[in-house]
Amino acid sequence: MAEYLTPGVYIEEDLSPRGAAGYGDARAVAAFVGITEKGPALPTKIKSWAQFVTLFGGFAAQGSYLPYAVYMFYKNGGGQCYIVRSARSDATYATVTLKDSRPAGSGGPQDAIKVTAMSPGVGGNTLSVHVVPTGAPAGRFTLIIRNSGREVERFEDLSSNPNDSRYAITIVNSSWAGSLVVRLANLKVSETYVYHPTNDVIPATDAFLGTGSDGVAPYDMVAAAKTLGDLDDNIDLNIPGVISDSIINPVLEWAESTGKVFVVIDGPRGAEGATSSQIAAGYTGLVTGSDPYRATSYGAVYGPWLMCSDPATNMYGAVKLLPPGGVILGRFARNDSVRHVAKAPAGTETKLEGVLAAECKFTPAELDDLADHHINVIRLVPGNGICIMGSRTLKRELPDRYVPVRRTLIMLRKQLVDISKFAVFEPNGPDLWQVIKMTIDRYLLHLLRQGVLAGRNESEAFNVVCSDANNTPQTINAGRVNVDVRVALRYPAEFIVIKVGQWDGQSSVEENF
């Protein structure tokens, strides 16, 4: 920006079209749904393994693969991800009620503020709240929330007065900057309630939450997954260790309906002593059995399970067989960051960290059969390590049978919406159509230069139409602007065919391999 010293009128030129200031980031964010020891039952974004341990309890959840999936996600290049804790339908929330300062002789103290854990189940029983008066007028106080005696949150300068700008309920319950651990409710507020500056003040209090229970009803993984639909982000979803078609198929159908969720499915774990042929049959049965997975490009199956160093113990040499979803999503995230979404998250670049071996070694014939059934196999590539060597969705037909194609389309859907929002409520007509076209053209050219789109130039890579050809007086009167966008997508090179033959200067004998 130029520096101006003399007062006057100056002109700066900006040839960028309206709405094209920036493109944001429409890359998908990983999400894991499953059982944890504690934590919120709503989607919670975390940025590190340490944060997962703080909020959800680490490896303490018995029989759950979700903590291991998250750990392997971060070990393999993952950044931020959402955690959705699936709870039993009859689980109850831990609560405690804070009293006011009304004197006993005047019918007090009375119930004032109810504190409820955001996490259903017994995990909420480890929470405690501490009210520390600040000494300021109007009964201001600090609210400290502790988990097993360790402070996890602090809210300063709060008030129990509903008309105060620092009203405790508003501050703590804020969806943007509020608590991730508890919710508050003022039990005294009613239509006739009038705040009393002496009796309604919350005195110094130490209170422990209780009565939380885990319940006995089944976990509803499908309902938990669908809570991700309210987020603005695109989602790469994994439900660690879950293969039941009664869960996977409804999730796949829902993912397809949202247009923004891609499901990474863990294949079945092999039975004790199972051969590679038996394990391969278990995988192909997912798409050919009596209740096959939905044939959609919004999901992909990966396997086999992986032998990893057990992160839950310090015992030397301890290993654990884990579903692959965590490492897959870690490599998805790293691939998107280092390369781009159109690069298939597979090949020798995807060497998996912390993985000692695959559950089994498939024969060449079994690998052919698995690939033909769109099962993405993780296997040892000599000289490179354990790598992802498949990138097909459950959809068998082109153009969207490949993972990078579907994920590119998911990214495009969100980004095209985001960069076009400026046009809402603008005067509808040729001027607006031209600006919309210029904005989208500029973005698609940006993708072409990144290597996301196919084609040697703009005319081969994309075509955008927003004119009177697709916007008639009738569409204008209906308040609509029609934009037709066509893009050339990139397909991965699955098969490298090299022909070797003998050359004597005039003739040759060829051999394919």
Helix 364-372 vs helix 276-288: crossing angle, to nearest 10: 10
Q: SS3 for 30?
A: strand
- pLDDT score recorded for residue 54: 86
Mean pLDDT, rounded, for 371-395: 97
- Residues 416-472 have pLDDT tens digits of 999 999 999 999 999 999 999 999 999 999 999 999 999 999 999 999 999 999 999
- pLDDT score recorded for residue 107: 85
pLDDT over 60 (residue 513): no
Rounded CA-CA distance 82/226 in Å is 13
Both tokens of 275, joined, read 């051969």
pTM of the predicted model as reported, rounded to 2 decimal places: 0.86
Mean pLDDT, rounded, for 400-421: 95
Both tokens of 342, joined, read 């159109």
Mean pLDDT, rounded, for 165-179: 93
pLDDT over 60 (residue 331): yes
Kindly report the backbone phi and psi dihedral angles of residue 406, in degrees, each rounded to the nearest multiple of 5, phi listed first.
-65, -40
- pLDDT score recorded for residue 435: 96
pLDDT over 80 (residue 504): no
- pLDDT score recorded for residue 105: 82
- pLDDT score recorded for residue 138: 79
Mean pLDDT, rounded, for 219-239: 95
- Residues 131-154 have pLDDT tens digits of 999 988 778 999 999 988 999 999
Please give the distance of CA 344 from its chain centroid, rounded to a whole number. 19
3-state secondary structure string across 279-303: HHHHHHHHHHCCCCCCCCCCEEEEE
CA distances from 125 to 38, 94, 97, 143, 398 (A): 10, 6, 14, 18, 52
- pLDDT score recorded for residue 116: 96
- pLDDT score recorded for residue 15: 55
Query: Are 157 and 136 spatial neighbours (Cβ–Cβ below 8 Å)?
Result: yes
Rounded CA-CA distance 76/272 in Å is 28
Of 274, 500, 268, 494, nearest to 368 by C-alpha is 494
Indicate the Cα dihedral angle 329, 331, 335, 336, nearest 10°: 20
**Strand 319-322, strand 306-309: pairing:** antiparallel
Burial of 290 (0-12, 13-18, 19+ CB in 10 A): exposed
Identity of the residue numbered 468: D
Query: Are 31 and 43 spatial neighbours (Cβ–Cβ below 8 Å)?
Result: yes
Which residues are 378's β-sheet partners? 388
Tell me the domains of the chain and their CATH numbers: 29-86+219-403 (3.40.50.11780), 93-208 (2.60.40.4290), 424-513 (no CATH)
> Residue 289: which residues within 8 A CB-CB, separation 6 or more?
none
Please give the distance of CA 324 from its chain centroid, rounded to a whole number. 17
DSSP assignments along 70-110, one per residue: HHHHHHTT---EEEEE--BTT-BEEEEEEE----GGGT-S-
Burial of 318 (0-12, 13-18, 19+ CB in 10 A): exposed
Burial of 338 (0-12, 13-18, 19+ CB in 10 A): exposed
Q: How confident is the model at residue 164 (pLDDT cuts 50, 70, 90)?
A: very high
Mean pLDDT, rounded, for 34-52: 91
- Residues 349-375 have pLDDT tens digits of 999 999 999 999 999 999 999 999 999
> Residue 340: which residues within 8 A CB-CB, separation 6 or more?
450, 451, 452
pLDDT over 90 (residue 57): no
**Strand 462-465, strand 375-381: pairing:** unpaired
- pLDDT score recorded for residue 1: 55
- pLDDT score recorded for residue 63: 86
pLDDT over 70 (residue 158): yes
- pLDDT score recorded for residue 41: 81
Query: Are 266 and 228 spatial neighbours (Cβ–Cβ below 8 Å)?
Result: no
CA distances from 148 to 130, 152, 214, 344 (A): 13, 10, 18, 44
Both tokens of 436, joined, read 């919309």
Please give the distance of CA 61 from its chain centroid, rounded to a whole number. 21
- State which of 4-8, 194-198, 505-509 shows the largest mean pLDDT: 194-198
Of 404, 359, 363, nearest to 266 by C-alpha is 359
Greater confidence (235 vs 136) lies with 235
User: Average pLDDT of the chain?
Assistant: 92
- pLDDT score recorded for residue 16: 56
- Residues 273-321 have pLDDT tens digits of 999 999 999 999 999 989 999 999 999 999 999 999 999 998 888 999 9
Angle, alpha carbons 202-203-206 (nearest 5°): 105
pLDDT over 60 (residue 22): no
Burial of 192 (0-12, 13-18, 19+ CB in 10 A): exposed
